[in-house]
Amino acid sequence: METKILKKRSATLKEVAERAGVSLMTVSRVLNNRDLVKQDTITKVEAAVEALNYRPNILARSLAGGNSLVIGIVYHNPSSGYLSEILVGAMTACRELGHQLVLEDLSDGGGDIDPEVVTHRLQKMGLDGLLLTPPLSANSVLVQKLHDSNIPTILVGRQKTQYDFSTVSFNDQSAAFAMTQYLIELGHKDIGFIVGSIEQPFSGRRKDGFLQAMHHHNIYVNDAFIKQGDYTFKSGMEQGGELLDLENPPTAIFASNDDMAAGVIAAAHSRNLDIPNSVSIVGFDDTELSSAIWPALTTVRQPISNIAKNSIKLLHDNILTDIPKAASSTIIDTVEIIRRESAAAIK
Amino acid sequence: METKILKKRSATLKEVAERAGVSLMTVSRVLNNRDLVKQDTITKVEAAVEALNYRPNILARSLAGGNSLVIGIVYHNPSSGYLSEILVGAMTACRELGHQLVLEDLSDGGGDIDPEVVTHRLQKMGLDGLLLTPPLSANSVLVQKLHDSNIPTILVGRQKTQYDFSTVSFNDQSAAFAMTQYLIELGHKDIGFIVGSIEQPFSGRRKDGFLQAMHHHNIYVNDAFIKQGDYTFKSGMEQGGELLDLENPPTAIFASNDDMAAGVIAAAHSRNLDIPNSVSIVGFDDTELSSAIWPALTTVRQPISNIAKNSIKLLHDNILTDIPKAASSTIIDTVEIIRRESAAAIK
DNA sequence: GTGAAAGCGCTAACAA
DNA sequence: TTGTTAGCGCTTTCAC
C-alpha cells in the first residue's frame, strides 16, 4: 500500500479577505483589535473565517510582529513530574504569546556544573531570556554570571530576587500551614515533622508553615518530634522510624516530601503499625509515588504548570513591555490538599 | 530599582552578508548546502558569522521554506516520566526540523474519551499531523475516526500499522528477553512473572519475551509462577504475595512494570524476606519509583525520548517527502538494563 | 472605519 | 560559483 500524504495548505488571511469582500487588513483587525471594526464587517469576516476554517499562521504572525522571543528552559536533574509540568505550562504560554522554547538540559551523572561554562554556552545560543529552575536558581554563582552576561532571567522556585532578576515560586509556607491545619482538624496534636535538605530554600519555608500552624492553634511543639531528613526515601524511613520508636510517639507524621513520607510508611509497616489508624502520615508534592504506594498518600500539590506559565508571561512583560519595572517576586499560593488514605481522624 | 530590559535584535543574514562582502544568498548557502560554495567564500562567511554571533531566525526560515508543520501531541493520563520524555524528544526533533508542537491533553477524571468529539476537535485545530500516544494509540475507534478525518498520524507504542498510519514502538519483547536472561545468568531458574493488563498490546510482548528467554535456555516454565496483574502496586503486592506463599516459591520475580515490582517488594517485606538474598525482584520501565524505594529496583528502561524523535521524523518524511511510501513499523530496540539492588545472584 | 504599501528574515527559483 | 528577484503570511505604518 503506497501512500503519499501531502501537507494541505490551510487558508490564509488573503483568502479570508477575498471571501469576506474586505481588505486583508480588516481581517487582521477583526482577529486582533476588533474594537476598531464595524460590527457588520466583523460578522462578515467571522463567517468567512468559519467557512474556511482559517487558523492564523503563528510563524508569520510572530515574524511580522517582530517580538517573538527565544526562551531557554534550563534544568538540572529535575524529577519527571516537575519537568513535565514545567514543559506543559511553558509550552502553553509560549504558544499563546508567540515565543519559542529551547531546552537546555544540564543534568549529569553527579558532578557539579560549572557556572562559567554554562553561562558561556547559554550566551552563545542567542537566547532572549531564560527560565532557571531549581536547584539551579539557588546557585548564586550561576545567577551572578548570568546577570553579568546580560540575559534576562526568571528564577523559578526562589522568593528573593537577585540583581534585577524576578522570581516566581510556590507558597510552600502556606501549603505546609494548610496541611498541618488539616491534621490538627483531624484531631492530631502530637505531630512529627521531617525537615528536608537545608540547602533548598523551600525546606525552611515548609518547616515554618508547620510551626506557624502549630502555634496558631496553641499546640506545643515537642522538639523531639522534629527530625532532619534529606528528601530521600531512606532518610524518611530512618527518621520516621525514630519517631515511631519514641516512648510516646506522634499520632501523625508530616514529611516534607513524598519520598520521605513513603519511607515513613515503610517504617510503620515494618513495625506492624496500621496506617492511618495507628499513625497518620502525610507528604508534600503529590508525586506519582504518592498514589503508587499503599496506603495511598495524603499530600499537597504545587501548581507547577502555573508557575511556569507565570514565569513565561513575566519574562514576556519584562522584555517586551515599555513600562519600566522593578524585579518582582511572584508567589503562587493555590494550595491543594490531596486527601488519600494515609491520614485519618484520631480515635 | 527600575529596569527596562530590551530585546536586543540579533544579527541577520543581511548583516553577515555585508560584513563578509558577499550576497545574502551566499551566506544562506553556506548555512544550508555548503557544497555549492567555494572554500574561500565559506571561510569568509564563517568568520562573519562568528564575529556577529549570528543565529538563524527559525521563524523566518520555516516561513520562507514553506514546509513547517504544526504537529499535535495527543495524550491521555500518561505517567509524568513518559510525558516528560516524549515532550523533550519531540521538542528537540521539532526544533531541528522547524516544526511547531501543540499539546492536546485528553486526560480526565476517569471517564472514557469520545473518539467522535476528540477527532472533531483535532480537525478544527488545523494540525498537519499527530502523534498519538498510548493508550490512545490502541483505541481503534479513535484511530479509525482520525483516519477518516484525513490527519496524518503516527501511532506511538503500537507495532501493527493501521490504515496508512505508521507506528513507532519499543521492543518490549527483546527487553523482557534480556531481563529474563539477566536473571538466568544470575543463576535463577525458578522465576515468577507477573503479566500486566491484557488490553495493552505491550503486555503480551513482555510476557512473550520472558517465555522465549526461558525456552531459549531450556528452563521449564511453571504455570503456577505466572500471575496476572494490572500494572498497579496493589496487584503486584497481591500476586507477588501469592507467589511468595507457594510451597516452593520462585527465587526471582519479574514484574511487568515498576509499580507492580514495588508491590512485590512490599509483599516480601511484610513476610520478612531479605531482598535480594531470599528473593530477587525486578521491574520494567525505570520510573522514578524504582530508585525511590528500598532496595532500589533493578529494571529495564525504554528510550522514550528517542521514540518521540523518531515519530516526529517519520511524520516529517511522510508528509514532506516526495517519495511515495507505505505505512511503516519502526521498532526501537535499545535495551538498557538498570542494575540496582533488588536482584542478585542466587546462593 | 478601512485600505495600500512596506517589510519581518529567510529560502526557492531563476539568471548570470 | 554567485547574485537577483520574488514571496512565505502576517503586522506595522500611514493614508484615506
B37-90 tens-digit pLDDT: 999 999 999 999 999 999 999 999 999 998 999 999 999 999 999 999 999 999
- For the record, the C-alpha cell of A197 comes out as 535538605
- Contact yes or no for A146/A118 (Cβ under 8 A): no
Distance CA A18 to C1' D7 in A: 19
CB atoms within 10 A of CB B305: 18
Per-residue pLDDT at A95 exceeds 70: yes
- For the record, the C-alpha cell of A142 comes out as 550561576
Angle B24-31/B39-52 helices, nearest 10 degrees?
90
The alpha carbon of residue B274 is apart from the nearest alpha carbon of chain A, in Å, by 13
Q: Which of B16, B61, B75, B293 to mutate to test the interface with A (most CBs of A within 10 A)?
A: B293
Per-residue pLDDT of A220-252, as tens digits, reads: 999 999 999 999 999 999 999 999 999 999 999
Confidence of residue B1 (pLDDT cuts 50, 70, 90): very low
Residue A339: strand, helix, or coil: coil
Residue B66 φ/ψ region, left for φ over 0, alpha for ψ in the -120 to 50 degree band, beta for the rest: left
Distance CA B25 to C1' D6 in A: 14
What CATH class has B172-302? alpha beta
Across A322-334, average pLDDT: 86
Per-residue pLDDT of B192-220, as tens digits, reads: 999 999 988 899 999 999 999 999 999 99
Q: Can you tell me which residue has the cell 512485590? A: B264
Per-residue pLDDT at A124 exceeds 90: yes
Alpha helices in chain B (DSSP H): 13-20, 24-31, 39-52, 58-65, 80-97, 115-124, 140-148, 172-185, 201-216, 233-245, 258-270, 289-292, 304-320
How distant, in Å, are the alpha carbons of A67, A153, A160, A306, B271 from that of A316? 9, 11, 20, 15, 57
Per-residue pLDDT at A5 exceeds 60: no
Domain coordinates in residue numbering, chain A: 13-52, 68-171+304-334, 172-302
- Contact yes or no for A331/A171 (Cβ under 8 A): yes
- Whether the CB of B24 is less than 7 Å away from nucleic strand C comes out as yes
- For the record, the C-alpha cell of B340 comes out as 540496582
**Contacts (Cβ under 8 Å, ≥6 apart) of B66:** none
Q: Cβ A319–B55 below 8 Å, yes or no?
A: no
In degrees, rounded to 5, the angle at the alpha carbon of residue A325 between the alpha carbons of residues A321 and A331 is: 100
Per-residue pLDDT of B279-324, as tens digits, reads: 999 999 999 989 888 899 999 999 999 999 999 999 999 998 866 6
Nucleotides of chain C in contact with protein CB (under 7 A) are 1-5, 7-13
pLDDT at residue B324 in the model? 65
Percentage with pLDDT > 70 across chain A:
97
The alpha carbon of residue A220 is apart from the nearest alpha carbon of chain B, in Å, by 33
- Average pLDDT value over all residues in chain A: 93
pLDDT at residue A324 in the model? 66
Percentage with pLDDT > 70 across chain B:
97
- For the record, the C-alpha cell of B292 comes out as 525511590
Nearest CA in chain B to A166: B3
Is 3.40.50.2300 the CATH classification of the domain at B68-171+304-334?
Answer: yes
**Backbone phi, psi, residue A88, to 5°:** -60, -45
- Average pLDDT value over all residues in chain B: 93
Q: For residues B226 and B242, what is the distance between their CA atoms, to the nearest angstrom?
A: 10
B269: which DSSP letter? H
Q: What pTM, to 2 d.p., does this model score?
A: 0.93
- Whether the CB of B68 is less than 7 Å away from nucleic strand C comes out as no
Please state whether the peptide bond connecting residue B276 to the residue before it is cis, i.e. omega within 30 degrees of 0: yes
| Nearest Cα to Cα of residue A191 among A297, A80, A288, A282 | A282
A3: which DSSP letter? B
Q: Is B25 on the interface with A (CB under 8 A)?
A: no
- For the record, the C-alpha cell of A276 comes out as 492511618
pLDDT at residue B287 in the model? 93
B9: which DSSP letter? P
Per-residue pLDDT at A1 exceeds 50: no
Would you call B30 exposed, middle or buried from its count of C-beta atoms within 10 A (0-12, 13-18, 19+)?
buried
CB-nearest to B327 from A1, A7, A101 is: A1
Nearest CA in chain A to B269: A270
| Nearest Cα to Cα of residue A264 among A240, A238, A300 | A240
pLDDT at residue A104 in the model? 97
- Whether the CB of A137 is less than 7 Å away from nucleic strand C comes out as no
Task: Tell which wins on pLDDT, B344 or A112.
Answer: B344
Q: In what order do the strands lie in the sheet with B329-332?
A: B100-105, B70-75, B129-132, B153-156, B166-170, B329-332
The alpha carbon of residue B217 is apart from the nearest alpha carbon of chain A, in Å, by 34
| Nearest Cα to Cα of residue A307 among A76, A161, A131, A78 | A131
Q: What distance lies between CA A327 and its chain's CA centroid? A: 20
Q: Same fold for the domain at B68-171+304-334 and the one at B172-302? A: yes
User: Half-sphere exposure (CA, 13 Å, Cβ side) for B111?
Assistant: 5
Interface residues 304-333 of B with strand C (CB < 7 Å): none
Window B:311-340, CB contacts with A under 8 Å: 318-320, 322-327
Q: What distance lies between CA A166 and its chain's CA centroid? A: 15
CB-nearest to A234 from B128, B266, B294 is: B294
Q: Can you tell me which residue has the cell 535480594? A: B276
Distance CA A10 to C1' D8 in A: 13
Q: For residues B196 and A89, what is the distance between their CA atoms, to the nearest angstrom?
A: 32
DSSP A130-144: EEE-TTGGG-HHHHH
